[in-house]
Amino acid sequence: MAIRLLKLLGSFIATVLVSTVVVFLLLRVLPGDPATVALGIEATTEQLAAWREQYGMNTPLVVQYFEWLGGLLRGDFGVSYVTGQNISPVITDRLQVTLILVGLAMVIAIAVAVPLGTIAAIRHQRPSGAIISGVSQFGVAVPSFLVGMLLIVFFAIELDWLPSGGWVPPSEPAEFLQHVTLPVIALGTVQASILTRYVRSAVLEIQREDFLRTARSKGLTANVALVRHGLRNAGIPVLTVVGLQMAGLLVGAVVVERVFTIPGLGSYLVDSVGNRDLLAVQAVVVVLVIAIVLINFLVDLAFTLLDPRLRRAA
Amino acid sequence: MSIVTTTSGEASASAPVTAVPEPDTTRDQGTNPVGSSGRRRRGPNAQLVVGGGLIALIALAALVSLVWTPYDPTHAVAVDRLQSPSLAHPMGTDRYGRDVLSGIMAGAQITLLVGTVSVLIGAAIGVPFGILAGMRPKRLGVLIMSGSDVVMAFPGLLLAIVFGAVFGGGTLSAMIALGIGSAPAFARVARSGTLQVMSMDYIFAARAANRSGLAIALRHVVPNIGGMVIVQCSVNFAIAVLAEAGLSFLGLGTLPPTPSWGRMLLDAQQFLATSAYLAIFPGVAIALAVLGFNLLGDGLRDRFDPKMRNR
C-alpha cells in the first residue's frame, strides 16, 4: 500500500513539474517580443532593455524558468506589467471566490443527483425513471451560462427577487446568499444532470452484483439491500466523478462568472488575456493546472483507499 | 466522458466532465473489444434515431446556409434593430438589425466545423499514441500515458484561453486547442481497446506468423477499436460544441462578423430585459446540437458495447 501511495505521490509531483514547464514555455515562446507587447511599438530601445532587465527577460530561458518556479514555490507570482499590481494577493482573493462558487455548486449537484440518480436506477423500467433520465439527458446539453442567463431573466428581471450579478463576500451572509444563489444554481444544475446519470449508471451496475443477490437471499428487501450494501459501493465511482467535475468546474466557472460579473479567477484570466497581461495569465493558468492535477491526485488516492480490490492489490 | 484506468490501474477521466453520454463505469474492466465482429444486426435504437435526426437537422441548416439564408446574416439594417419574432423575421433581429434565424443557420457551419476539426485533431493525435501505448504497455506505454496525464491537466477550454492569449482568439486557435485538449481521451480509449485486442488468440497467431507491429495495428487493432473511437468522437464533438460556444461567449472564439451561437449569446446578454428571445434561440440551438451528439454517442455505445444493452 505504501509503495502504491508513494508512486501516486511521485506521479503527482512529476506531473506538476512538467505542467509548470509547459505553462512557462507556452507563454514565453510567444510570437513577438513580450517587451514590445507590454510597452507598445512606440517604446525606445532603452525602454525595452530596461523592461527586460526589470522582468528578468534577458537571462537564458532555463534561468528564467527556475526563477519563476522559485517564485511560484514562495507564492510570489510577480508584478503585473499592465496594472502594476502584485499578482499573488489578487489570485488569492479571486481563487477564494471561485472555490466558494464551485464548492457550493457541487454541494447542490450532489444533493440533487444522489437521490434522483438512485431513484432513476431503481425505477429504470418505470415512467418516473425514464423521466429523470430524459430530463438529466437534456440538462447535460444545456450550457451553464445559458441557464444563468435564463435565471437572470426570470428571477432578477421578471420577478425581481434576486440581484442579476455582482459579488458580496460571505462576511455579510444575507447579501452573500442573495448574490450567490443564481450563479450557484446555474453551475449546479448542469453538474447535477451529469452526476445524476453517473449515479444511475453506478447503481444499475451494483444491482447486478452477486453480493447484492446474496444480501437479498438472506431476506433483505431490494431497497434495504441497496441502501445497506449497494450505495456504499456505488459511491466509489461517483466520488471519482465528483472530483473530476470539480476540476472541470474550476475552469468551466469562468463563463458563469462573466454572466454574473463575479470577480473570480476565471474572470481575472479572461481580463488578463484581453489586456495581454501575460504574467497574470501565466500565474492563473499555473494555479488552475496545479489545482486540477491536485484534484486528480486526490481522486486517485481516494479510489485506492476506498476500493477494497485496489487496496488488496496494493 | 468515460471513466478509464490510468497506466497504473486507478480511475481517471478521459475528458472534462462537460458533456456526457450514458456513463460506462466498467469500460476498462474487462469488456470485450468492440467493432465489426462484435456488432449485432439490429434495427436502429431510439437514441440513434433522435440524435442522428438532430444532427442531420443542424447539418442541413449549415449546408443550406452555404447557398441561401433568409437574409445576409452579417448585414446590419439599423431600422430593423431589436425586432421581436414575426413572419418577416421568425426569430427576430439583433441590436444591429441582423436576422437571428439567418445567424443561427450560418452559425451551424462554425459549430460543425469546430466540432469536426477538433475531433479529427484529437483522434489523429490520441489514437496512434493510444494504440502504441496498448501495444507496448510497459515503458513506452507508461511514458505515453504520463504525457497524456500532463495534457489532461490542461482542459480544452483552458488551453483555448491560453492560445487566445498567445496567438489571439479565433476559430482556428480554438479548434487546435480543443483538439489537443481532447487527445488524452482518445489515447485512453484507444489504449484500453488495444490492451483488450492484444490479449486475443488471433494476435498470438499473427505474431507467430511474423507479422510486424504496424501490420498487427492496422489489420487487427484499428478495425476492432473503431467502434470505441467513433463513440468517443461523438462525445468529444458535444464537448467541443459547448466549449466553442463558451469561448465565443468570452470573446475568445469565433470573431465577429462571422456568426456563431456563443457570440450571439454574448450579444444577447445586455438585452435580456427587453429581448430575451435573442438568448433563447441560439441557446436552444446549442442545447440541441449537444443533445444530438450525446444521444448519438449513447446510441452508438449501446450498439457497439454489449454491456450497455438492456439499460
Residues of chain A contacting residue B166, judged by C-beta atoms under 8 Å apart: 26-27, 30-31
Domains annotated on chain B, with CATH: 114-308 (1.10.3720.10)
Best mutation target, A296, A298, A307, A312, to test chain B (most B CBs within 10 A): A296
pLDDT band at A90 (very low <50, low <70, confident <90, very high): very high
Q: Residue B43: what pLDDT?
A: 63
Q: What is the DSSP letter of B217?
A: I
Largest pairwise CA distance in chain B: 77
Q: Residue A310: what pLDDT?
A: 63
Domain boundaries, chain A: 2-73, 95-313
Residue-wise pLDDT for B211-232, tens only, equals 999 999 999 999 999 888 998 8
Residues of chain A contacting residue B6, judged by C-beta atoms under 8 Å apart: 300
Instruction: Establish, for the pair of chains A and B, how many residue pairs have beta carbons separated by less than 8 Å.
Output: 183
Residue in A183, A145, A188 with CA at minimum distance from that of residue A167: A183
**Cβ atoms of B191 and B183 closer than 8 Å:** no
> Is any Cβ of chain B less than 8 angstroms from the Cβ of A19?
yes
| Grid cell at residue A1 | 500500500
In the predicted structure, residue B24 carries a pLDDT above the cut 60:
no
- Candidates B10, B161, B294; nearest CB to A273: B161
Counting every residue written for chain B, the total comes to 311
Q: What is the mean pLDDT of residues A79-101?
A: 91
Q: Which residue has the higher pLDDT, A273 or B302?
A: A273
Q: Residue B15: what pLDDT?
A: 37
Q: Residue B305: what pLDDT?
A: 66
For residue A64, give how far its alpha carbon lies from the nearest alpha carbon of chain B (Å).
Answer: 18
Q: What is the mean pLDDT of residues B179-190?
A: 94
Q: Residue B116: what pLDDT?
A: 96
Q: What is the mean pLDDT of residues B40-68?
A: 87
Classify residue B30 by burial, with Cβ atoms within 10 Å: 0-12, 13-18, 19+: exposed
Cβ pair A300:B12 closer than 8 A: yes
pLDDT band at B280 (very low <50, low <70, confident <90, very high): very high
Cβ pair A252:B246 closer than 8 A: yes
For residue A238, give how far its alpha carbon lies from the nearest alpha carbon of chain B (Å).
Answer: 9
According to the per-residue pLDDT averaged within each range, which of A219-223, A240-244, B267-271 is highest? B267-271
Q: Residue A312: what pLDDT?
A: 64
pLDDT band at B33 (very low <50, low <70, confident <90, very high): very low
Q: Which residue has the higher pLDDT, A276 or B90?
A: B90
Q: Which of A27-36, A145-154, A209-218 has the lowest mean pLDDT?
A: A27-36
**Category of A263 on φ-ψ map: left (φ > 0), alpha (ψ -120 to 50) or beta:** beta
Q: Which residue has the higher pLDDT, A15 or A2?
A: A15
Q: Which of A19-28, A125-134, B12-21, B75-84 has the lowest mean pLDDT?
A: B12-21
Q: Look up the ipTM and state it.
A: 0.85
SS3 B285: helix
Classify residue B212 by burial, with Cβ atoms within 10 Å: 0-12, 13-18, 19+: exposed
Tell me whether the omega of the peptide bond preceding residue B155 falls within 30 degrees of 0, making it cis: no
Q: What is the mean pLDDT of residues A102-107?
A: 95
Cβ pair A11:B8 closer than 8 A: yes
Residue-wise pLDDT for A176-227, tens only, equals 999 999 999 999 999 999 999 889 888 888 887 888 888 888 888 878 888 8
Cβ pair B153:A299 closer than 8 A: no
For residue A258, give how far its alpha carbon lies from the nearest alpha carbon of chain B (Å).
Answer: 8
Q: Residue A309: what pLDDT?
A: 66
Q: What is the mean pLDDT of residues A95-118?
A: 94
pLDDT band at A284 (very low <50, low <70, confident <90, very high): very high
Nearest 10 degrees: Cα torsion B21, A238, B7, A19: 90
Cβ pair B165:A245 closer than 8 A: no
Percentage of residues in chain A having pLDDT higher than 90: 44
pLDDT band at A79 (very low <50, low <70, confident <90, very high): confident
Best mutation target, B20, B146, B173, B275, to test chain A (most A CBs within 10 A): B20
Which residues 146-175 on chain A approach chain B with CB closer than 8 angstroms?
A: 146, 149-150, 152-153, 157
How many angstroms separate the CA atoms of B12 and B5, rounded?
6
Cβ pair B245:A194 closer than 8 A: no
Residue in B278, B240, B295, B264 with CA at minimum distance from that of residue B50: B295
**Cβ atoms of A229 and A212 closer than 8 Å:** yes
How many angstroms separate the CA atoms of A132 and A122, rounded?
11
Percentage of residues in chain A having pLDDT higher than 70: 96
Residues of chain A contacting residue B291, judged by C-beta atoms under 8 Å apart: 137-138, 140-141
Q: What is the mean pLDDT of residues A98-119?
A: 94
Using the structure block, give the residue that is written with the C-alpha cell 461523438. Answer: B234
> Is any Cβ of chain B less than 8 angstroms from the Cβ of A205?
yes
Strand bridging mode B11-13 / B3-5 = antiparallel
In the predicted structure, residue B291 carries a pLDDT above the cut 50:
yes
Q: What is the mean pLDDT of residues B192-196?
A: 91
Please, what is the average pLDDT of chain B?
Answer: 83
In the predicted structure, residue B7 carries a pLDDT above the cut 60:
no
- Which chain A residue shows the shortest CA-CA distance from B17? A245
> Is any Cβ of chain B less than 8 angstroms from the Cβ of A296?
yes
Residue-wise pLDDT for B110-129, tens only, equals 999 999 999 999 999 999 99
Best mutation target, B5, B18, B277, B286, to test chain A (most A CBs within 10 A): B18
> Is any Cβ of chain B less than 8 angstroms from the Cβ of A219?
no
pLDDT band at B307 (very low <50, low <70, confident <90, very high): low
Cβ pair A7:B283 closer than 8 A: no
Task: Say which CATH superfamily domain A95-313 falls into.
Answer: MetI-like (1.10.3720.10)
Residues of chain B contacting residue A152, judged by C-beta atoms under 8 Å apart: 272
> Is any Cβ of chain B less than 8 angstroms from the Cβ of A145?
yes
Residues of chain A contacting residue B22, judged by C-beta atoms under 8 Å apart: 197, 201
In the predicted structure, residue B77 carries a pLDDT above the cut 50:
yes
Question: SS in 3 state form for chain A?
Answer: CHHHHHHHHHHHHHHHHHHHHHHHHHHHCCCCCHHHHHHCCCCCHHHHHHHHHHCCCCCCHHHHHHHHHHHHHHCCCCECCCCCCEHHHHHHHHHHHHHHHHHHHHHHHHHHHHHHHHHHHHCCCCHHHHHHHHHHHHHHHCCHHHHHHHHHHHHHHHCCCCCCCCCCCCCCHHHHHHHHHHHHHHHHHHHHHHHHHHHHHHHHHHHCCHHHHHHHHCCCCHHHHHHHHHHHHHHHHHHHHHHHHHHHHHHHHHHHHHHCCCCCHHHHHHHHHHCCCHHHHHHHHHHHHHHHHHHHHHHHHHHHHHCHHHHHHC
> Is any Cβ of chain B less than 8 angstroms from the Cβ of A211?
no
Q: Which of A177-191, A232-246, B12-26 has the lowest mean pLDDT?
A: B12-26
Which residues 240-259 on chain A approach chain B with CB closer than 8 angstroms?
A: 240-241, 244-245, 247-248, 251-252, 254-255, 258-259
Q: Which residue has the higher pLDDT, B15 or B222?
A: B222
User: What percentage of chain B's residues is helix, strand, coil (to nearest 5)?
Assistant: 65, 5, 30
